[in-house]
Structure 1
């Protein structure tokens, strides 16, 4: 019996790494996809996408455009147009290994009727000859992430049953955990497969960890939709939000006490803030390369991250205070795909 047919859905914002993703997918022989749906989520797609990198798969590539609505909406636009029993989601910054399609065939062939999804195994190459930076270590955490859509195969029927991704998650953060929880709550099982996909560390500026704090708003949405125990059920690390809240509270207390003329109490609160900030900075500096640039970046961002994390969490609590669980949409709905064209 041949392995089940599948389609690949790749959301993209036009990053150069898309070419490497398509090139690696073409090089993976043995059980090619029926089609590759590249979902262009750029608000204003000017430059053409590097579809020629798909090589022998070029005739199977189809492009949809979603106009900058986020990765959840882009993936929905893709899977809702496929006709295969399985949909494999790949991020545009990953590179499947040469034996990926053969291992995928084994993963799908071994999936019982109650299996709704099979996760690929991610490997993050880290630099030789030096310790990884804070950003590189964070990316390496994907190797242990559960149900990451960097390489995740879902039974298309299961996606239809739960309504796909929740488009209230506008960033590439937690939308995969939310979907996995709803798939399991609907009675499907999820398991880890044997195929391996490479996830290089993408280039990032010194403030990337500061911008990443926006994800705390998505954590607040997860709390609202799935309850406070979602962390354990989604196998997600809890992070440092409680400590960030404590450090931020000591900073606010120091300011308030100083304005009230209580200098000694303000000094104590300020000292506690400094100690908490130093502990956070050291926790990020010591495992890393400890270069002057990395140390300076960690020191500066460790001051900014705690209050920003708390701010985004509170913003999420307010914004999503009336959020209700996603209701499944009819499987035939395709209004999420404004256009279907291939340049």
Structure 2
């Protein structure tokens, strides 16, 4: 028996996922499909294909994010294996057959990750947002397609609901599962994760994830990235660029209230800070523009957001650090 848990916000992509599951559900042993409608008070009826109607159940989530929605599905699941799928992936035609083979593993394997493929444009270089989505293809233990033994999830109390976004909650769970003595492996099944359309400001909105990074730092200490198999980030550079800009602004303001040597010194400090801010911002923008399509719209977006991201990232980090004071490792959900 296999349970498939899909947290959803009712996006159109859900219909594509359900159609793909319906086409191969008969290849799953005694399947159970649990759809967690996480729209909170706005939850409505979800359309389930007829081929899935005998296996599917719709649960109303708390509207508290994917970690809480997956925990609801986990608690309702009856199978020894629980497969988590995001509502915007498309399982390959042989996904069910390969899933059954993936789960034929040793008793101490607590989780098996599927392969995630992100289609990118063939006729141009990918945008910054497209490259960010493509990172899912090399991510470790992401719940776009991740199967866990119910016993392993129960031992660590499931997802930590202190992580409210679709960000880091899966890596944090995997870390606790491995610390509990379970092994995690990669399987052969695959899903496609299309790049969803977004506006030019999406890179600013995703900076809210820095608050979750701050929580991880509180929980697991300075080696949290290595411990959770996460790539290095740019936060130290963002801090340096933000500090340089702040020094420039403060020194320039103070210089207007003084005369003589102090004014000259403050002016020099302001100029140095401004130069540091400009150099850091230019390096960041260049690193994002170089691998992209370099269209006028993309270059403009990268220039604008590269100036705004460092202070925004630092602000979210500090907010998360303050909110996470006193937090301790362990699931809270």
Fold shared, TM-score > 0.5 on shorter chain:
yes
CA 78–284 in structure 1, closer or farther in 2 if over 3 Å, else same? same
Q: Where does the alignment leave 5 or more consecutive residues of structure 1 unmatched?
A: 330-343
Question: Cα offset for 1:273?
Answer: 0.3
Query: Taking structure 2 as the reference length, what is the TM-score of the superposition?
Result: 0.94
> What pairs with 1:137-286 in structure 2 (closer than 5 Å)?
137-261=131-255, 262-286=266-290
Structural mapping, 1:126-137, within 5 Å: 126-137=120-131
CA distance in 1, matches of 2:198, 2:44: 22
Question: Does residue 86 of the first structure (1) align with residue 90 of the second (2)?
Answer: no
Match of residue 6 from structure 2: 10
Q: Secondary structure of 2:41's partner?
A: coil
Shift of 1:229: 1.2
Does the C-alpha gap of structure 1 residues 307 and 327 become closer, same or farther in structure 2, counting only changes over 3 Å? closer
1:45 to 2:39 alignment: no
CA distance in 2, matches of 1:80, 1:43: 18
Q: How many residues align?
A: 322
Tell me, yes or no, if structure 1 residue 77 matches structure 2 residue 72. yes
Paired with 1:244 and 1:189, the residues of 2 have a C-alpha distance of 35
Equivalent pair of 1:8/1:33 in contact (CA under 8 Å): no
SS of residue in 2 equivalent to 1:118? strand
Compared CA separation, residues 300 and 75, structure 1 to 2 (3 A):
same
* Bigger relative contact order (CA 8 A; separation at least 6): 1
Instruction: Give the superposition deviation at 1:232.
Output: 1.2
Counterpart-to-counterpart distance in 2, 1:184 and 1:168: 20
Distance 1:199 1:175 in 2: 18
Change beyond 3 A, Cα 1:114–1:256: same
RMSD across aligned positions (CA): 1.3
| Aligned partner (choices 290, 297, 316) of residue 312 of structure 1 | 316
Of stretches 37-46 and 176-185 in structure 1, the one that deviates more from structure 2 is: 37-46
| Distance across 1 between alignment mates of 2:40 and 2:34 | 18
Gaps of 5+ in 2: 256-265
Distance in 2 separating the partners of 1:118 and 1:191: 5
1:168-216: per-residue Cα shift (whole Å, max 9, x none)? 0000000001100000111100011111111110111111110000101
Deviation at 1:236, TM superposition (A): 0.8
